[in-house]
Structure 1
Amino acid sequence: MSETAWELTTHLLGRRDEYEAATQHPFLLAAAQGRLPKEALGRWLSNDRLYIHSYIRAAAKLLGSIDLPQSVSDHETHETQLVDWLIEALAAVRKEERLFIDVADRYGLSIELGPSISSNAASTQSLKLPGLVMIEDIFSSVGRPQVSKGWFSTKELPPSSPIPWLEGAVTFWGTEKCYLDAWTWAKNKQPHGSTARDDADGGALRQEFIPNWSSPQFREFVDRLGRLIDSAVADFVERSEDKDAAFKAIVDRVEAKWLSLLAAEKAFWPDIE
């Protein structure tokens, strides 16, 4: 088989129906067409801000689980590249949260998740989008590689398992890839001839968010993690006596997790009128 046969990311993206459901939603179309009122956008941003908090905690757990090389000669490994990517990701999402707050202030958006966010956790939980709750559960498993057909098994992989950080890396790549492709799809749906002053949100999405979430720089950042995942998988497969069986074992580890993530991403987009 050719080297491209061992590209795990290509295999996962082959689930087209589930992937399109996660990245092509009526909420995104309304956003592209300037039909999202400030209240609807603010509620979604309030959930996305809590997603950032969960993302940060998961990144910290994954960083803590990575075994770095002891030898100076091995200073550029898949593990060190993953550490570099995660550190960049943490800086980027903190910058993103500051952007949320700044844009909300300038465009008159409320990004508080209800009046009781600081005093009543149960009430706050009820205001979360279903997708946020699902993604928080998924992020909670990062850093604990598992051998199961579903995401929530507690049976951990033995320490000698290949690429022990794989599930966590796929989680981060998957959620960033969905975000990138969803907002790129929205950008491509923007009508010609309309202007930001016509938009129900005052132009926040058109002028601030969509350009940021569909930028070439963001695409390269996401693709870099995808290439890292594919390289690590390909190296493992090429060292294996039965390459087909080795790749299947890798796919079996992550495929159900991937589908769980796509379901969460789909549920993260609110229903709109």
Structure 2
Amino acid sequence: MSASLTRHLISTFASAYDRATQHAFLKAAGERTLDKQTLSAWLTQDYIYTRGYLKLVGLILSRYTEAPITVRRQLIKLLSTGLSNVSEEQAFFLKQAEDHELDIRAVPAGVKAVLFGEVRPYMLPLPETSAYVDFMVATGTQGTIEEALVLLWATEKCYLEAWTFASQRVKAENPGPAADALDKFIHNWSSPEFRAFVDEIGELVDQLQIPLDKTDQRCERAEGVMYRVLYLEEMFWPRM
């Protein structure tokens, strides 16, 4: 079996990977015990996150000629799929919010959305969300194309495995008030279709042929991106 950068990154940061994809929020989501306020607060921040994701994909697309010529066609296909997916996801968020009476402008309990010194009912990013979006934009503009692609894969991989973890915790008894919405979210992001998409991105990243050598600058940068994504993913989930 040939060397795989994606497997290397997961194994290198195994503990951080588990923390990012097996958070208490996900356990409660799988057990369907989350209250609507907590779910709404997460939904709001994830909707804001999708805006950063769109920027990242657009930036990578604008730089696709920097990728090895052997992966460019596959890259354009994946980026096009990613843009379509996130556009559908934004509509999905809004529909679930409407169908299940979730507040798309919610903030976590005890947090006030303050703008210009006043409490406002706006969709404002929390610091963790802003940091994530800023990292995506910075990597997409200032990082190498390899770093940007590792970031794209890492954020999708974490999302897939996080909701797959939640799907494995599902309990039928004593569902909470947000159970129906949670069922939709879990199904959407643990589906075979989503896994196939994430796997395709991983295969492309592995085709970049970055040496698995910590003394190699390309490997060091890829590890730096992975470490940062895992930290941001863990911080992104609502406190439980």
**Shorter-chain TM-score range:** 0.7 to 0.9
Distance of 2:214 and 2:78 partners within structure 1: 26
> Does residue 56 of the first structure (1) align with residue 54 of the second (2)?
yes
> Does residue 94 of the first structure (1) align with residue 87 of the second (2)?
yes
Amino-acid identity (%)? 33
Give yes or no for contact 2:104–2:123 (8 Å, CA) kept in 1: no
> Does residue 201 of the first structure (1) align with residue 178 of the second (2)?
yes
Aligned counterpart, 2:125: 128
Distance of 2:227 and 2:9 partners within structure 1: 9
Aligned counterpart, 2:70: 77
Change in 2 beyond 3 A, CA 1:270/1:121: farther
Q: CA deviation at 1:103?
A: 1.1
Aligned counterpart, 1:254: 222
The aligned runs of 1:132-211 (5 Å cut-off) are 132-146=129-143, 164-191=144-171, 193-194=172-173, 198-206=175-183, 208-211=184-187
Larger CA deviation: 244-253 vs 13-22: 244-253
Q: CA deviation at 1:144?
A: 3.3
Q: How many residues align?
A: 233
Residue type at the aligned position of 1:98: A
Give yes or no for contact 1:12–1:258 (8 Å, CA) kept in 2: yes
Residue type at the aligned position of 2:161: D
- When Rg is computed on C-alpha atoms for both structures, the one with the higher figure is 1
Give yes or no for contact 2:25–2:237 (8 Å, CA) kept in 1: yes
Moved over 2 A (4+): 119-131, 142-146, 244-250
Deviations 1:185-231 (A, max 9, x none): 0110112x427xx322141102x110111001100100101001101
Distance of 2:76 and 2:236 partners within structure 1: 27
Residue type at the aligned position of 2:49: Y
Give the 3-state SS of the residue equivalent to 1:4 in structure 2.
Answer: coil
Aligned counterpart, 1:153: none
RMSD: 2.8
Distance of 1:229 and 1:58 partners within structure 2: 16
Distance of 2:214 and 2:155 partners within structure 1: 25
Q: CA deviation at 1:253?
A: 1.8
Distance of 1:268 and 1:52 partners within structure 2: 13
Aligned counterpart, 1:241: none
Distance of 1:35 and 1:145 partners within structure 2: 41
TM-score, normalised via structure 1 length: 0.77
Q: CA deviation at 1:33?
A: 1.2
Gaps of 5+ in 2: none
> Does residue 263 of the first structure (1) align with residue 231 of the second (2)?
yes
Residue type at the aligned position of 1:214: S
Change in 2 beyond 3 A, CA 1:32/1:257: same
Distance of 2:189 and 2:135 partners within structure 1: 22
Q: CA deviation at 1:67?
A: 1.1
Aligned counterpart, 1:221: 197
Gaps of 5+ in 1: 147-163, 238-243
Residue type at the aligned position of 1:255: E
TM-score, normalised via structure 2 length: 0.87
Give the 3-state SS of the residue equivalent to 1:141 in structure 2.
Answer: helix
Give yes or no for contact 1:46–1:111 (8 Å, CA) kept in 2: yes
Distance of 2:179 and 2:213 partners within structure 1: 54
Give yes or no for contact 1:145–1:168 (8 Å, CA) kept in 2: no
Aligned counterpart, 1:158: none
